[in-house]
Amino acid sequence: MRPGNGGPVAAAVVSALLLGGTAALAQSAARGAEEGKRIFRDACAGCHKWHGNGGGGYGGAALSLRQTQLTREQIVEAVNCGRPGTGMPYHKRDAYQGDDRSCYDMTRADLGKDVPPGAEKFLRQPDVERVVDYVLAEVKGKGEPTLAECRQFWGQESRLCQTYETGQPGAGGDKSGG
């Protein structure tokens, strides 16, 4: 055997390490998606509803995330900074504090009465990224909510999904399932 040639055993070890790394990455991505869904349920669904169609909520009429044209970067900024002049709260702890201009290049003084409210619970940046990734993968660009989506969000036996079952009033698209 020549030096530097690990032969079939070395190739098998390298393959196992690469495949193990791929499995670990897939597992990490799945955990991130579940965490994004949990954050969405806890921090966003109160206004945007479980399905992301929005409508009336505690902060007013939340926009539909299913129909949004915002880019990933714009959604990250909206989650971090809220939406001035609306009920969309900011989730970044130090947004609009002092001379901070990290949100829309504006300060609290610049916005005056249009400063968005602070969220009940602030989010760390990795959590903002996870919830935005969840919205992009599972909500943005989707049609009307379906029974399958409801069950995926709430679980197979959730009574909240009865609205979407065949033969029920509002089946296939009732937006009140919040």
Which 3 state secondary structure label does DSSP give 169? coil
Cβ atoms of 163 and 176 within 8 Å: the answer is yes
Whether residue 79 lies inside any domain: the answer is: yes
**Residue 41 within any structural domain of the chain:** yes
Q: For residue 156, give every residue at least 6 positions away whose Cβ sits within 8 Å of its Cβ, in sequence order, or none.
A: none
Which whole-number Å values give the CA distances from 88 to 39, 95, 133, 137, in the listed order? 16, 13, 19, 21
- Number of structural domains found in the chain: 1
- Report the C-alpha dihedral over residues 169, 170, 172, 176, rounded to 10 degrees: -140
Whole-number Å distance between alpha carbons of 81 and 111:
12
Residue-level pLDDT, tens digit, the chain, 178 residues:
455 555 665 555 555 555 655 566 455 556 778 999 999 999 999 999 999 999 876 656 899 999 999 999 999 999 999 999 999 999 999 999 999 999 999 999 999 999 999 999 999 999 999 999 999 999 999 999 999 999 999 999 899 898 888 755 444 444 444 4
109 in a structural domain: yes
| pLDDT tens-digit readout, 89-129 | 999 999 999 999 999 999 999 999 999 999 999 999 999 99
In a domain, 168, yes or no: no
Token couple for 72 = 């990933």
pTM, 2 dp? 0.76
Provide the residue range defining the domain that includes 110: 8-143
